[in-house]
Structure 1
């Protein structure tokens, strides 16, 4: 899923072979893996239950699932769960009754999930012992943030310091993934901006110049902290490893298969947008794996959002992605942003219009990227905010600089 609520454009996801030298550098100095926390998901909808299990597994929980109230209560008792997600509309017991029974023997954090939006339902749920309450449809990123907030309340000073150290290391890894080389293409401007969230997510972008143009990768690994940063590093390394394959679709699918089992083991996925620019013609060939936040901005102020060509990498094992292309005319731009920007808006249409308005008329690609960053102010954004622009200058021939 992309940001906001559960949208039809699901962000699903690839297995990557990790180069030993990359693993050595990234894992150096990492603390020993702590004992996993335990969670129980009590939810009768199998699709929502599967999503919750995936998110919690990525967050480091050992997860037990139950499709009804009575087996859910037993699962909490048997696992001594630290966290319970509880649907209010269950086939055997009302969720509020389940909450009451759990509070007789468990001090686990309880997050209620329901389609009931009435304020009375919310207050009743909290009065019955729930710690938080989320309405369906919900954002997986909001769900992760709520979990993190609950567990921060009970941290000891030592645990909090360890968590902060982990975030600092994750931020260092994440920053190391951003491109250091400047792209110099006659007739083009290339710019990117990145602002990490306080919890450090899995956003990154990467570019490198080729004899005929440019390769660009833009990705978002699900999760937070060091786990997301390592997945992002793996995705970057694998995408670079297939750079010499002339067939973009084949290269992308090969890279995706190489990372898929790593993602499956970690219960994670990565949304990826990978593009190749032929500078002379302005042709951009691309593959969009569940990202869905790339736009073709026309010189006259029009905007077209590029559709995804498949699910996120790691969402399911038998996925294939198809190559598409667009033509950048003089004055046109390719813009790719993260869902940290999308989260600000109520719909994809509002988001698309805001990107179009904020970038149109900006004198440079760098200033356009800065304007995109302002769409999600730092004091309110809960996720990484990232933006990249490739602009073809008006009236330029468009050839690679020597």
Structure 2
């Protein structure tokens, strides 16, 4: 079945515009409710979490109306990180988990992510089936079977306690000064609390959400703010989360930024040495740096690449029985602990490495020298995709031929925004930039015809 509503990470768009309208959220809630009421023996329960966007109130209420109309009982968690929804869906024996968030996008966007009863994001097939239900006439529950709604006050506390259990007993963060930037998002309470309770001196940024400042000049998409504070405070580590805290970027004591590739390289090596890395394999996407692949091969480890999107990473991990994966953007998935990317728990594992080795973040966060890489994003008007323009394929093929044998070129549409992403890697930086800029300028020229 084809999918028009769902992208690579649920349904996403500009708030109050299709598909992020109250009407569509209501239908999506009803469709998901009808899909999950086909089976199950636990009272047909769904948990809903959200980040701090103003539009979250509207979408949460609309989803609730749709779900209860098909007989689902709704448990409202309030603002919690995305990984908390995955954890609590499974912990609370729910049929379905929903996170209302557009992750790292600006406040005017929002999204809806669905989790199954096992705490993992739904498969493409399940999303396509729900989309088909939404497009048809949805069968509603009888009046006596309309669902109930309850607000769960302790959901965040459960997640906080669980996050602390992933940090080894007998160790503390005492003596470490940590800056954590919560991006005015879903982890604005949980992340500083976990770090403080584990003994760190915590400097918290991005913890005053107002509904419109999420990800604004802060968090993982703007780590400069965290880096500046790390240097000003003389901190040992900076932790920059995104709006729903499923990704993390780290900043060492020198103010240098470490992306997901560097974090995964450290974890893969350490886990392999501890005989914890399943089948000596790390799963990541086509966007990860070639330097990471070379580093792993140098340590006798294997890299498995997938399409972009942490859900595809997780699906491949589950298929292969592997326990570590993620994305360059900072999604770190450790299925020993979580069912989806978890920025806070990934940061805790990095802090464990600092304590165990006695080495500073600047040493641990630079496992390999990245191959020069450049990424250019082209934004376009929906319905006017430059990759569909006559001549685009021929132009891209000619540009790609220039890198053959010398580097790597990847061109793809974003699954969450109307963007064409052009990425290249090459030791010859001049050639790499020339190729990428040539493609970008060429596509823009085609789009302007």
Q: TM-score, normalised by structure 2?
A: 0.25
Q: TM (normalized to structure 1)?
A: 0.27
Could you say which structure has the greater relative contact order, defined with CA pairs below 8 angstroms and 6 or more residues apart?
1
